[in-house]
């Protein structure tokens, strides 16, 4: 063999020799590490940091205690005998402090049960009927009719929402009597179900709070309830008006404050809106939008401060955070009841509504965040803020806290498709998180302040509420206001009898021999496979295939 052959053989050997066995044992971490899991691990570390620090401390204490002999214990006892005054003073201070704490601490407020009103089927307002009645009323020109048709198509509302009885007449005949009749049907319908489900007598109610923005007759709506159910003479009743779609959370906050003062009692909160006298019969586009979105609905909520009610209650109220932007002129006028040029009264919605709502939400979550977010998210937010200030670098984007780490469920006011879309995007939520809001808007429309309760009922009907789960209710309203309520489930919550979703929660998609249950997984799959689908077209598909 000459040198050339040897060189060729050596070259060939170098080419075919396998790589070392250890070269593929470990993956390339820079390529394989998922930032999501790094963040999750960081969250767990920071959340349990105090526990991790206390474990060594407790271990040291136990080691020292194990070294103590009986003689040391006897010497300690003798020392205490000769310092009796100090022991008595410390005991008095301890007892006094404990008493003050127990007497002044906030009393827990429990949500025993709630009920949502569901109108009879004859009040259903499908698209075709809505448009036909609008045309036959003779109140709208062609441009206004076409505008309403387009809004309906994009609204996210389905074919089964409800309009008041007076709007089903041709021509519509709104009147004070018809408005009272609508209010009675909604409020009494919800209260009848609530009292029956909760096994509470109306005479046991000590506090009553009613909110309805646009219908405030004399006597008040709260007085109508007192008269109907013959509530006791010393009941504390309140009637909130003109406070918009966020008034439901305001009513809960007022009831909570009253329950802090009055021991051992029940509070009932009734949230509704009246459509009959507030239908707009004009042609101004900004005032036509409420006609297309608002529908009949209402909810009644039973709260208690009795410790004996904890075992049968569904939720515990954890936080209420309220934000009011009324000092800003644009925010004040973005949802405004007024007359158009022809003198017709209606509610006008400003083009700046979404921007103003976003600003109000930002202020609200800035206050709410420290109360609910884990310390890991707060540190990340603070670090990003400091870095941006110190380095004065506009390229450093503000950190958006992950509210999915604080809440398992979200009840976003079903004010319209755009509201839900924007919150889903800005809070980085998943389709399953906004599913209750989309489906409530689709099935019942915008029921104003009561919509967050239809959404909570949807979550319960789906069987998703587990003990310890936290729910964030977010509501927006005129003024402009953004209000939040946080609830914690006290048990695995099942839907109450006569739930508004009782006969439609398991409606299926069916086409060409296959059936798929409508769920968050199906909805997510549709969006993943068909990103061009909007929420409106998806829910329209649900309508078409669900029959």
SS (H, E, C) 456-481: HHHHHHCCCCCCCCEEEEEEEECCCE
Structure tokens at 369: 């965040």
Phi-psi region of 266 (alpha: psi -120 to 50; beta: other; left: phi over 0): beta
- Which residues form the catalytic set? 245, 324, 409, 413, 442, 446
Which positions of the chain have pLDDT values less than 50? 1-38, 508-547
| Strands in 273-370 per DSSP E | 298-304, 315-324, 335-339, 345-349
pLDDT of residue 29: 38
What number of other Cβ atoms are within 10 A of residue 172's Cβ? 20
Cβ proximity of 294 and 446 under 8 Å: yes
Task: State residue 533's pLDDT score.
Answer: 41
For residue 109, what are the CA distances in angstroms to 103, 240, 267?
16, 21, 10
CB of 534 closer than 8 Å to CB of 527:
no
- pLDDT of 81 reads 67
206-215 per-position pLDDT tens digit? 999 999 999 9
The predicted model scores a pTM of 0.79
Task: List, in order, residues 6 or more apart from 337 with CB less than 8 Å away.
Answer: 214, 345, 346, 347, 348
Q: Give the per-residue pLDDT at 236.
A: 96
The pLDDT value given to residue 96: 80
Name residue 240's beta-bridge partners. 211
| Nearest alpha-carbon partner for 242 in 417, 448, 472, 453 | 448
Which one, of 496, 437, 463, lies nearest residue 116 by Cα? 496
Identify the pLDDT of residue 82.
Answer: 67
> Angle at CA 108, nearest 5°, toward 467 and 309?
70
User: How many Cα atoms sit within 13 Å of 49 on the Cβ side?
Assistant: 10
């Amino acid at each position: 063999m000459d040198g050339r052959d040897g060189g060729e053989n050596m070259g060939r050997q170098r080419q075919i020799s396998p790589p070392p066995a250890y070269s593929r044992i470990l993956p390339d971490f820079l390529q394989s590490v998922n930032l999501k899991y790094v963040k999750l691990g960081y969250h767990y570390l920071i959340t349990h940091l105090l526990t991790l620090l206390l474990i060594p401390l407790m271990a040291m204490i136990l080691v020292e205690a194990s070294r103590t002999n009986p003689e040391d214990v006897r010497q300690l006892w003798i020392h205490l005998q000769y310092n009796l005054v100090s022991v008595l003073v410390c005991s008095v201070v301890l007892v006094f402090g404990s008493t003050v704490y127990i007497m002044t601490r906030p009393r827990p407020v429990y949500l025993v049960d709630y009920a949502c009103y569901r109108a009879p089927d004859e009040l259903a307002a499908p698209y075709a009927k809505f448009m036909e009645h609008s045309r036959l009323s003779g109140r709208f020109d062609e441009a206004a009719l076409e505008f309403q048709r387009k809004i309906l198509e994009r609204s996210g509302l389905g074919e089964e929402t409800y309009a008041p009885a007076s709007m089903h007449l041709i021509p519509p005949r709104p009147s004070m009597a018809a408005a009272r009749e609508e209010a009675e049907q909604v409020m009494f319908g919800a209260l009848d179900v609530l009292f029956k489900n909760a096994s509470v007598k109306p005479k046991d109610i000590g506090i009553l709070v009613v909110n309805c923005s646009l219908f405030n007759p004399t006597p008040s709506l709260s007085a109508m309830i007192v008269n109907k159910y013959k509530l006791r003479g010393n009941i504390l009743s309140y009637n909130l008006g003109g406070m918009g779609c966020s008034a439901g959370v305001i009513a809960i906050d007022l009831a909570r404050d009253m329950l802090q003062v009055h021991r051992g009692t029940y509070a009932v909160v009734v949230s509704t809106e009246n459509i009959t006298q507030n239908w707009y019969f004009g042609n101004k586009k900004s005032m036509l939008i409420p006609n297309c979105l608002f529908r009949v609905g209402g909810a009644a909520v039973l709260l208690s401060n009795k410790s004996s009610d904890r075992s049968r209650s569904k939720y515990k109220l954890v936080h209420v955070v309220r934000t009011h932007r009324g000092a800003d002129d644009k925010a004040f006028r973005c949802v405004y009841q007024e007359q158009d040029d022809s003198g017709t009264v209606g509610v006008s919605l400003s083009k700046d509504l979404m921007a103003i709502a976003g600003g109000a939400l930002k202020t609200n979550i800035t206050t709410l965040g420290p109360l609910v977010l884990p310390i890991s998210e707060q540190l990340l937010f603070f670090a990003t803020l400091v870095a941006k200030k110190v380095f004065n670098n506009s390229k450093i984007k503000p950190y958006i806290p992950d509210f999915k780490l604080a809440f398992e469920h979200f009840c976003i006011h079903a004010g319209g498709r755009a509201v839900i879309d924007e919150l889903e995007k800005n809070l980085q939520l998943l389709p399953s998180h906004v599913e209750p809001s989309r489906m409530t808007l689709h099935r019942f429309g915008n029921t104003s302040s009561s919509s967050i309760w239809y959404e909570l009922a949807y979550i319960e009907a789906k069987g998703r509420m587990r003990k310890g789960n936290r729910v964030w209710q977010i509501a927006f309203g005129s003024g402009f206001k953004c209000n939040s309520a946080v609830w914690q489930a006290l048990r695995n919550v099942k839907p109450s009898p006569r739930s508004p979703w009782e006969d439609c929660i398991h409606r299926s998609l069916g086409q060409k021999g296959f059936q798929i249950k409508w769920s968050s997984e199906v909805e997510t799959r549709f969006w993943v496979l068909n990103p061009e689908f909007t929420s409106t077209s998806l829910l329209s598909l649900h309508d078409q295939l669900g029959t």
